[in-house]
Structure 1
Amino acid sequence: MRKLPLTACLLGTLFGSTALAAENGHTSNSVGMQATNGSVNASISTSPAPGFNFFANGQYSDKKGTLGQAGGEFIQENGNSSFGLGVKAVMIRAQDREDGGVLAIGGHYDYQINDRLSTGAEFYYSPDMLSFHHVDKYLQYGAKVGYGVVDNVIMTAGWRHTEFGYSNEDTLDYENNFYVGSEYRF
């Protein structure tokens, strides 16, 4: 229950910045869903100004627990390429481990192959000094391809690896599998 105010504050900031951006004539938002055979992920993102993006997502896994993330990235676009560098807060409520969280640093690279087909990769890392409450390391990396089925809807397929290191327990491989999903941009 104590995480509800934090979640409300993050979503309020996300939607507030979206409203401000729309008022100023700039919007670049998306909502998305991804699924594997044992988990589901929902996400939202907004760019209140060119070159910056806020994002938040939540993931539920039957066997591993619940994961929540929120962060921001500075984005540089150059032709068909887009590179983002930023930070995100990650909280885990593990199924059979202690709960914990990290402040991870990383980013993504996306390449638009043509008007419908794109590819991308992501990498985030948190050392012990940016990890807290039972977690002492975090690592996430992955790759994806996207296909625009219509103007604002992108179908995605990818692979992602996410792990949490614990000081007194073995590493928790939260996910290490393929996923499919969709994203709606507005």
Structure 2
Amino acid sequence: MKAPISHKLSSALTLACAVAFSASAQAGDFELQLSDDSVYAEVSSPDSTPMRFSAGYLYHEDSRNVMNLDFHAQNKSSFQGNDTHVGLGMKGIGYHEHNLDGLGMGLGGFGEIELNQVPGLSLGGSLHYSPSILTFSDVDDFLWLEAYSNYAVMPNAAVQFGYRYIKADMEEGKDRSLESSAFLGIRFQF
């Protein structure tokens, strides 16, 4: 059985997220996404840098809290005349709900393609997986999957529509869906 997350570790994770949010105050992106049951906010470093740092927080109405700190190598290029943005790296995930806790380090990446045939429209997604060797406390593994579209309504703002699925396999053998919903959102670029 894995050791439970102590109050100190939980406080440290909360502090790390707060520091990441404040350090990213001059971020490249800010996203706010809403579903029927949850709200998610994320700040990210600029797309123009070779490394991308992100910090996010999801609150679910079942008193479920999921935090993430991301670190990706990223690149912008072109695919069949469409601009692309891809990244490969890690997603640190912290989870707390009632008497359950979990930490994990997911490996994976993201990709986004701007469709030049429809100006302003882009499609993207991400996938990160944290196996048991990279998880702690009540969780055996994490899976974080997203698919989304952005439509730029102006040069620095877009509306979003997407789907997010976050799953944790718990130590007692049960799968736990931390989030499984469609979302609407806004994305601001600074």
TM-score range, shorter chain: 0.7 to 0.9
Alignment correspondent of 2:52? 53
Q: Distance in 1 between matches of 2:56 and 2:166?
A: 14
Counterpart of 2:29, as a letter, is S
The correspondence of residues 1-186 of structure 1 with structure 2, limited to 5 A, is 2=8, 3-12=10-19, 15-16=22-23, 29-47=28-46, 50-63=49-62, 65-79=64-78, 80-95=83-98, 98-114=100-116, 115-186=119-190
Q: Distance in 2 between matches of 1:48 and 1:7?
A: 25
Instruction: Give yes or no for contact 2:110–2:127 (8 Å, CA) kept in 1.
Output: yes
Deviation digits for residues 70-92 of structure 1 (CA, Å, limit 9, x no counterpart): 12110021121111001121000
Q: How far off is 1:18 after superposition?
A: 6.9
Identity of aligned pairs, percent? 23
RMSD: 2.2
3-state SS, counterpart of residue 164 of structure 2: strand
Structure 1 residues 167, 121: CA separation in 2 closer, same or farther (over 3 Å shift)?
same
Q: Tell me: CA distance 1:46–1:15, structure 2 relative to 1, closer, same or farther (3 Å).
A: farther
Q: Which moved more, 1:2-11 or 1:48-57?
A: 2-11
Displacement of 1:39 in angstroms is: 0.4
Quick one: higher RCO (CA 8 Å, sep 6+), 1 or 2?
A: 2
In the superposition, the TM-score normalised over structure 1's length comes to: 0.86
The CA distance in 1 between the partners of 2:21 and 2:39, in whole Å, is: 21
CA separation in 2, counterparts of 1:6 and 1:139? 19
Amino acid corresponding to residue 77 of structure 1 in structure 2: K
**Amino acid across the alignment from 2:60:** S
Task: Report the count of equivalent residues.
Answer: 177
5+ unaligned residues in a row in structure 1: which ranges?
20-27
How many Å separate the matches in 2 of 1:12 and 1:174? 24
> 2: CA distance between counterparts of 1:81 and 1:92?
31
Q: TM-score, normalised by structure 2?
A: 0.84
Q: CA deviation at 1:167?
A: 1.3
